[in-house]
Amino acid sequence: MLKDIVIAEQPVCACVPRDFPLTLRCRAQGSSPLYYQWFLHSESFCKEIPGANQPDLHIVTQQTQLYICRVNDQHHHFAFSHWVKVKVLKDITKGADLLTHESDPNWKSSDLKTNILRLFHYVLPGWEGDPVFITYPNPAHLTSQQPVQFQCCAIGIPAPKYQWYLNGQCLPHRRGRKMQIKAVKPKDCGSYLCCATNAKGERWSEPVELTLEHSPTRQKDIFFAVGKVALIIGNNCYLKHPNLLAPVVDVYELSNFLEKLEFCVISLVDLTHSEMLIAVNKFLQFLDNGVYGLFYYAGHGYERSGRNYMVPIDAPQPYRPENCISVQKILQKMQERRTALNVVLLDTCRKWYNADCALSKVNPLKPFGNTVYGYATCENAEAYEVQDGDSSSGIFMTYLKKHILEEKKVTHMLEDVLEDIGRDPLITGKQVMEIKHTLTESRALTDRICSPQSERLNRKAWDKENELPKQILLFSCGVEVELSFQSVFSNLIHIFARLIQTPSYLTDIRTILYICSDFAELSIPNTCRLGHEDSLLAMGSEGEGADCMLRLPDLQKCQNDIFIKLDLQCTNMGTGVCLQESLEHRIPKPWVARLFSQKDFSLDSAAGSSDDSRSRQRLQSSTNSHTLGHAGGISLGAQSKSSSEPEEHDEGDIFAAK
C-alpha cells in the first residue's frame, strides 16, 4: 500500500496563442482519497486559483504564467507537481500586420501573416499539440564581422524544443528559439534551418541563407547525377471507395516527362497494400550515393498530425493507418540511402481522417540538405482534378508538366508551379500547393548523368528490359498480322493487332485478341478498368491503324509467361465458306513481374526471355480451323462506358477531390 503520495502524471509546459482553450493535467496515487489544488505564480508570489480543485485545470490562455498543482490526502500528506510554464503568444495577428504589410517588397506568401491565418483556419480546430511554426527565420546578407540573429517560433503542447542546423550539420549548442552570431565570418555562411520537436512530433523550418557581401564570387556549381530513378504510383480503381479519373492520366504523362529527363521510371497503377510495399522496397534498392530519386503518388490519401498516408486500392471502409502507407517512412528510407537528391511529390488530399487512430511510429528525418517535398495542396485541404469531356487531369499535374523540363533548381521549378496554381480562378480558395525542402545545393531534375553511370540505372539496359519487339503472325490462309506492344505503365501493356497482308479472295476479315492463360484471373474486376482513359492512352503511335487490341493489366501479379491467342475469322469470296483460325503467342514473364518476385533482381537478369522474344519472327499455324474462344480483348471501335465517379466533394462536375 502506498504511504506517500506519488505524482503519476505531471502537467506539461505549453506554447499557445492567446485565447486558446488549454487543459493542464495532473494525476496522483495514494493510499486514501486525494484532493487537488492548482496555483499560479503571479508577480513575486504564488496564489491559489479559486475553484481549481480537480485533476484537470481548464484555462483560456491570456498571458504567460507558471502553474503548479498540490495534491494532499486526509492525513495531511501532500506532494507538488512540477512547475509548468504556459507561454502565451500575444497579438500575433497584430504583429503579422506590422511585420508583413503588403506594401513591403519583402512580403511573401509564406510570411507570418499567412502562417497565422493558416494556424487559425486549419490547425487549431483539430490540433493535437504537435509543433506548428508561426514565424520562420529570415535570410541575411551582411558585411563581414556584422552581428546577425535568426529566430523562429512554434506553438506546441508540450512546448517545443529547438535545434539549429547549418548546412545539414547539427549545431550542438544552438538550442533556443533565437540563434545569434556576434560577428559573422565566412565559415558561418550557408543554409540554416531549425527543428522544433516535442512528444507529439517534429516540424522543420524552411532553410534560410546567410551570405557575406564581399565574399569571393564563386563560379556557378554544375551538378551531376550518378543515375536517376523514379517510382510513380497512381491508384484509380478502388474496391471499397469512390473511383478516381485523373491518376492514370497523370502517371502516364509524368512518366513520359521523366523519361525525357533520363530517369529510369517504374510506373504502376492500381496497387494493393502489399504491392505498394513491395514496389517501394524495390525502388529503394535502386537508390545509392549520388543517385537522384523521385517518388510520386496520386490517389486517395489523408493527413493527420503531419503524417501523410496513401490509400491502397484494397483498403477497407473505413481505413486505418495500418491499412495505408506512410509517406514519411518512405522519405526516411530514401534519406538513409544517402542519395544526392530526394524528391517526393504527393498529389492527394490532406484532409484529416480517423482522428482516434494511433499514429504510425516515424523517426525524425535526418537533416541532410537533399530533400524536396511537394504537396499538391495545403494541410487539411483537398486536391482537385479537372474534367474536360472524356479526359481528366489533376490540377497539380496540369501545371507541373508546364515547368518540369525547365533547367532550374527543383525548388524554384516547383515555386513556378505553385504560382500558376495560385492564379487559377477555378481553385481559388480551394487548393494551394505547399513546398518543404532542405535542399542546399542548386540541383535540378534536368542535371545530366555523369559517366560512368550506375550499372543498375543504365537507361539503355532499362529500356531494353521493358521493350517487347513487334511480332508477325502468319495464318495458313495467307493472312499476316503484326502484333505490336505499348507499355502504358510498367504493369500495364496494350497489345495491338494490325492486318498487313490479306489474300484477294478473302473478305470480311476480323481479328480478336484474348488471353488464354490463368493470368486473366489475377486481375481485380472493376468496370473502371475499361473506361475512357484506356481508349485515350491506347491512341499512341502503336495503336494507329490497329484492327483490335488487348489490355494486360496487373502484370506485377504474373507468375509465369503469358499466353495470348489471336482468332481470325474471314469469308472465302469464291466459295462463301466462313474460315476460322487461331494462333497462340507466348509473351515472356514481364520485367515488372520479375522485379516483384525476385529478392535480388538485377537488370542483367534474363529470366523469362528467349531469342524469339527479341527479334521479329513469323509464326505459322499448324491447323486450318479452330473454334473461336471467349474474346477477352476489345475492338478499337467499341465503346466502353466507365463507371468511375468523381471523389467526394464534387463541385459541379468540374472538380473531383482525390
11 phi/psi in degrees, rounded to 5: -65, 155
CATH architecture of 463-620: Sandwich (2.60)
Question: CA dihedral defined by 521, 586, 281, 376, rounded to 10 degrees?
Answer: -70
pLDDT given at position 255: 94
Tell me the pLDDT tens digit for each residue of 304-361. 777 889 999 999 988 888 899 999 889 888 888 888 899 999 998 887 766 666 666 6
Nearest by Cα to 377 from 652, 118, 645: 118
Q: Write down the domain spans for the chain.
A: 6-89, 127-212, 227-457, 463-620
**DSSP letters along 410-426, please?**
HHHHHHHHHHHHHH-GG
570 labelled catalytic: no
pLDDT in tens, 421-453: 988 888 888 888 888 888 888 899 999 887 545
Q: Which pLDDT value is given to residue 386?
A: 75
Q: How many CB atoms lie within 10 A of CB 236?
A: 26
Among all chains, which residue has been given the C-alpha cell 504583429?
A: 95
DSSP 156: B
Element (H, E) at 330: helix 327-336
pLDDT of 624 over the 80 cut = no
CB 433 within 8 A of CB 396: yes
User: Which fold, 127-212?
Assistant: Immunoglobulin-like (2.60.40)
Residues of the chain with pLDDT > 90, as a percent, come to: 36
Q: Give CA–CA dist 260/255, Å, rounded.
A: 9
Nearest of 378, 385, 381 to residue 426 by alpha carbon: 385
**Catalytic annotation present for 237:** no
The CA-atom distances, in angstroms, between 110 and each of 96, 100, 424 are 12, 10, 19
CATH code that applies to domain 227-457 = 3.40.50.1460
Domain 227-457 and domain 463-620, same fold? Reply is: no
Note the pLDDT tens digit of each residue in 540-565: 555 677 889 898 999 999 888 999 99
Model confidence band, residue 42 (pLDDT cutoffs 50, 70, 90): confident
Mean pLDDT of the chain: 78
Across the strands, what pairs with 570?
579
Quote the pTM value: 0.62
Strands 45-48 and 78-80: unpaired
Domain spanning 6-89 has what CATH number? 2.60.40.10
Select which of 26, 189, 264, 300 is catalytic: 300
Between 655 and 362, the more confident residue is 362
For residue 122, CA distances in Å to 308, 323, 376, 380, 591 come to 16, 25, 16, 6, 44
Burial class (CB in 10 A: 0-12, 13-18, 19+), 147: exposed
- Using an 8 Å Cβ cutoff, are 170 and 243 in contact? no
Calpha distance 251→235 (Å, rounded): 10
Q: Catalytic: which of 237, 349, 548, 558?
A: 349
- Concatenating the DSSP letter of every residue in 311-362 gives PPTT--SS--GGGSEEHHHHHHHHHHTT-SEEEEEEES------TTSPPPP-
At 102-147, the pLDDT tens digits run: 333 333 334 444 555 455 544 455 677 888 888 888 888 887 778 9
| Cell numbers standing for residue 614 | 527479341
Whether 644 shows a pLDDT value over 60: the answer reads: no
